[in-house]
Amino acid sequence: MPVIKLVRGIKPQIPKDCFIAENATIVGEVTMGNECSIWFNAVVRGDVHFIKMGNKVNVQDGAVIHATYKKSPTTIGNNVSIGHNAIVHGCTIHDNVLVGMGSIIMDDCVVESNSIIAAGAVVTQNTIVETGSIYAGVPAKKVKDISEELISGEIDRIANNYVKYSGWFKED
């Protein structure tokens, strides 16, 4: 049974069509859109500030979504995939974004739409990731513009696959 916990009188808002793995943790002021999925050992901690997710957001195994107390909430748009063991902290992620495995996005960053954060990248505080670009490295820098093939072949494909995968678990 997942840990879904009230904090300071505020309970997470999770639509019925979302999938929450049995060992995921979601606490406090968390609002999720439709068709979201929170996978095994993922933590979404809205205890110190709000976390708002759009539709079709998948938070993969071991990822952590958090914020900074009274300073930096976390807002995630639609059609966003947050890879295994990624950390998304006190930032804004727009629509159609792929956050690679093990990457870190720090406070007050903005990741604009149709972008990819490469696996293992560290997006340092206050960075603006430009629309349609790929950022990689430590610290993360723009490495190239994204192609339409990557938008449909990676960003859309992964988000849609996670809706499909979550359906497999709902059948049981």
Q: What is the mean pLDDT of the chain?
A: 96
Report residue 156: phi and psi, to 5°: -65, -45
pLDDT in the model for residue 150 = 82
Segments in the chain below pLDDT 70: 171-172
Please report the domains of the chain, with CATH numbers, ordered by start residue. Answer: 3-170 (2.160.10.10)
The 3-state DSSP class for residue 138 equals coil
Q: Which residues are bridge partners to 51 per DSSP? A: 30, 74
| Predicted local confidence at residue 149, as pLDDT | 85
Cβ partners under 8 Å of residue 149, min gap 6: none
